[in-house]
Chains A and B, each alone.
Chain A
Amino acid sequence: MQEATRAASASPAWVDRGISVLNGMVGDHLHRRGNALAIEMACYHVGRPLSLTKSELRRTQPAATGKICVLVHGLGCNEGLWSFRGNAGDATDDSYGSLLQRHLGYTPFYVRYNSGLPIAENGELLATLLAKLQAAYPKPIAEIVLIGHSMGGLLLRNACDFAHRRRMAWVRRVARAIYLGTPHDGAVLAKLTQVAAATLRIVPNPITQLIGDVIDVRSRGIKDLGFEVPSSRDDARPTSATARNAIPWLATAQHHMIAGSLTRNTRHPASVLFGDALVSLPTGRQRAAQAGRGARPAGENIKVFAGIRHLALANDPAVYAQIERWCREAATGHLT
Chain B
Amino acid sequence: MSKLTLSQWRGVKDLVQDAVDAGVQATATAHLRIAQKPFAILSRIDAIAAPVRAVDGIHALITRSVYGSIRLINRVAGASATEVLDRLARKADAQASGREIPPKRQRRCGGDN
Main secondary structure, interface of A, reads helix
Contact A213 B4 (CB under 8 A): no
Q: Chain A contacts of B15 at CB under 8 A?
A: 22, 26, 30, 35, 37
Q: Chain A contacts of B30 at CB under 8 A?
A: 206-207, 209-210
Complex Cα distance, B90 from A303, in Å, reads 56
Q: Does B92 count as interface, using CB distance less than 8 angstroms?
A: no
Contact B4 A33 (CB under 8 A): no
Q: Does A214 count as interface, using CB distance less than 8 angstroms?
A: yes
Closest to A206 in B: B33
Contact A36 B7 (CB under 8 A): yes
Chain B interface residue count, Cβ-Cβ cutoff 8 angstroms: 18
User: Which of B12, B18, B27, B33 is close to A33, meaning CB atoms less than 8 Å apart?
Assistant: B18
Contact A19 B18 (CB under 8 A): no
Complex Cα distance, B14 from A37, in Å, reads 10
User: Which of A15, A22, A33, A214 is close to B26, meaning CB atoms less than 8 Å apart?
Assistant: A214
**In the complex, per-residue mask of B29-60: 1 if CB is within 8 Å of any chain A CB, else 0:** 11001100000000000000000000000000
Within 8 A of B (CB), among A284-315: none
Contact A30 B26 (CB under 8 A): no
Contact B26 A210 (CB under 8 A): yes
Q: Does A12 count as interface, using CB distance less than 8 angstroms?
A: yes
Question: A38 to nearest B CB, angstroms?
Answer: 8
Q: Does A29 count as interface, using CB distance less than 8 angstroms?
A: yes
Complex Cα distance, B8 from A22, in Å, reads 12
Q: Does B10 count as interface, using CB distance less than 8 angstroms?
A: yes
